[in-house]
Structure 1
């Protein structure tokens, strides 16, 4: 039977300016402009839908053309889209400047609308029914701290596993009040450092630091360097496969979360599931989009052959 995933989080517009030559700080840089629907939760939701899962997305949205664009992208991906629409407000946006090699220079997040997703909205009947009807809950840190805590508490009251995507160093702090009850956390080194207040030199340093603040299971990505994952007393590392071409790194972390969660729901342990996540991320960075629109389960299985086996830390 098809697994059902409920995603609560960001679904907005991503604008990306790509510098054509060498980056010149404080000056005008020739480049190109590109925009598409995005958001951590929304990117993960679209990947999961393309991998064959029934996905429902709940997020705040403005009553504007951008909101309609996001809705159309959800329909195109096969997502059951359930937005809270605020007709008098604009849909959130994320604007990034990217170097010619695909790496991020700086970004600006205009996310004020998400603060209107307050905990009491979880008591709406159709939202309550959505929690009951789904097998897995995914939340991202675009939402307010108290709402995230209420989502995690509601998931656990129904014995539903819950995963979280950190989004950014500034936003991951919102997960702190409920971090001990999140089953799987996806974050990068900068976000992990924001949680623990330090950054170890090696991948092996992350599991003890994150466990010390109550995190049960996590995947910490480190760009092109080996990622580290731990769960239930086991910790492993994995060297991400080198993509033939890097078109854009936007969405790589979200697709890694989606690929990993897809494998977890298929019954694989975390140390094996991260190989599926790494394969999904590799396919994403080869696309200029935040979600590889050609993604299929068969494509993911082919990419899996290029992902090395995990290294055991303990």
Structure 2
């Protein structure tokens, strides 16, 4: 690289590390800070990089904002019996909605960054190291002394269906609007921002306002019926809201027992400003909004090994499709259903064999079938 002109050397350093500082660039190239700034200004004018984040136009990432934690799965060895002791097997892995989505995306070959909060403890350090090994940029993560990394404990029956889950996610309350404002550069450089509702209500509202102002598409992913209370009333700027029927019912404040009632609820939420909704139904498939109203896709048959992570895999595939520039939610949801089915069939929260090109391969198999 030493034979290249200084501007090209600088460009190669930025291409390798888009978040490199001007001071580091100056030190590595033997230049003054003002000379580095002039070269960067030239590259911006040439549209070879985009603004202060030094993001290359063809490598704008998906930024995932929200929960990461240690997952514990307890699976009974026989039919679950309530109010008594059950023999069980325990597995531990890394989880959290935003983290799971980020890992799926990274394994699919998508540039992805994770904005999350972990304790400055062994679990938090191991979680971030695992994410980095998977190809996730974790430099925007909040590392907190005196806080424990979040945990999520799921109890599964012997068939792999979830009986109950317990979550200690208090650390994510530290992801305040002020913290998110300090990470605005990373979010502003994104092709797409996806956030889960483990964030505080004020932080979710701030993300929605930023999306409307900066016109960076925002996908919100619901996590539970109680946390639907964190969803702001005004949703202008939200490209997509992914939630299940129970969470949609919690939003509109009434039971939804028919397709017509689900369609009416979607229209009601769209009046609040969200562009589109995807409403999941587990094994019954998904509803999604479009120009012609509400449409439905049936889920492919699945051999259930473990349902944990299936919803996050679905959301990741939908986001991957949007990031790829494919139009329409029909294709995105088909990809989501295929990846969710693949994930249900393995014991891990994120399928370990997932790789670039996997989603297109799954769709080819679906067409041939």
Report how far residue 302 of structure 1 moved: 2.9
What does residue 40 of structure 2 align with?
none
CA contact (8 A) 2:211 2:237 kept: no
CA contact (8 A) 1:283 1:303 kept: no
What does residue 200 of structure 2 align with?
144
Measured in 2, the distance between the counterparts of 1:203 and 1:14 equals 34
Q: 1:106-125 counterparts in 2 under 5 A? A: 106-124=164-182
Displacement over 6 Å in runs of 4+: none
Higher strand proportion: 1
Q: TM-score, normalised by structure 2?
A: 0.79
What does residue 173 of structure 1 align with?
229
Secondary structure of the 1:101 match is coil
Counterpart among 258, 268, 276 of residue 217 in structure 1: 276
What does residue 105 of structure 1 align with?
163
Measured in 1, the distance between the counterparts of 2:144 and 2:167 equals 19
- In structure 2, the CA distance between the partners of 1:288 and 1:204, relative to structure 1 (3 Å rule), is farther
Measured in 1, the distance between the counterparts of 2:213 and 2:136 equals 25
Secondary structure of the 1:129 match is helix
Instruction: Tell me the alpha carbon deviations over residues 167-217 of structure 1, each in whole angstroms, 9 at most, x when there is no partner.
Output: 111112211334343210111122112112233333453122122133431
Q: Which moved more, 1:133-142 or 1:205-214?
A: 205-214
Report how far residue 23 of structure 1 moved: 1.1
Secondary structure of the 2:231 match is helix
What does residue 112 of structure 2 align with?
55
CA contact (8 A) 1:7 1:139 kept: yes
Q: Which moved more, 1:44-53 or 1:199-208?
A: 199-208
Instruction: Tell me the alpha carbon deviations over residues 16-35 of structure 1, each in whole angstroms, 9 at most, x when there is no partner.
Output: 10111111011111110011
Measured in 1, the distance between the counterparts of 2:260 and 2:92 equals 37
Counterpart among 274, 285, 288 of residue 333 in structure 2: 274
Measured in 2, the distance between the counterparts of 1:199 and 1:229 equals 18
Counterpart among 59, 69, 82 of residue 25 in structure 1: 82
Q: 1:281-300 counterparts in 2 under 5 A? A: 281-300=340-359
What does residue 68 of structure 1 align with?
125
CA contact (8 A) 2:245 2:256 kept: no
CA contact (8 A) 2:212 2:236 kept: no
Residue 232 of structure 2 is aligned to residue 161 of structure 1: no
Measured in 2, the distance between the counterparts of 1:297 and 1:280 equals 13
Report how many residues are paired. 306
Counterpart among 241, 251, 271 of residue 300 in structure 2: 241
Measured in 2, the distance between the counterparts of 1:253 and 1:105 equals 16
CA contact (8 A) 1:94 1:107 kept: yes
Unaligned 5+ residue runs, structure 2?
1-57
What does residue 36 of structure 1 align with?
93
- In structure 2, the CA distance between the partners of 1:307 and 1:29, relative to structure 1 (3 Å rule), is farther
What does residue 312 of structure 1 align with?
none
CA contact (8 A) 1:230 1:271 kept: no
CA contact (8 A) 1:230 1:236 kept: yes
Report how far residue 275 of structure 1 moved: 0.5
Which structure has the bigger radius of gyration?
2
Report how far residue 153 of structure 1 moved: 1.2
Residue 132 of structure 2 is aligned to residue 132 of structure 1: no
CA contact (8 A) 1:15 1:35 kept: yes
Secondary structure of the 2:306 match is coil
Q: TM-score, normalised by structure 1?
A: 0.92
Report how far residue 305 of structure 1 moved: 4.1
Provide the aligned C-alpha RMSD in A.
1.8
CA contact (8 A) 2:208 2:236 kept: no
Secondary structure of the 1:67 match is helix
Unaligned 5+ residue runs, structure 1?
309-314
Q: Which moved more, 1:180-189 or 1:276-285?
A: 180-189
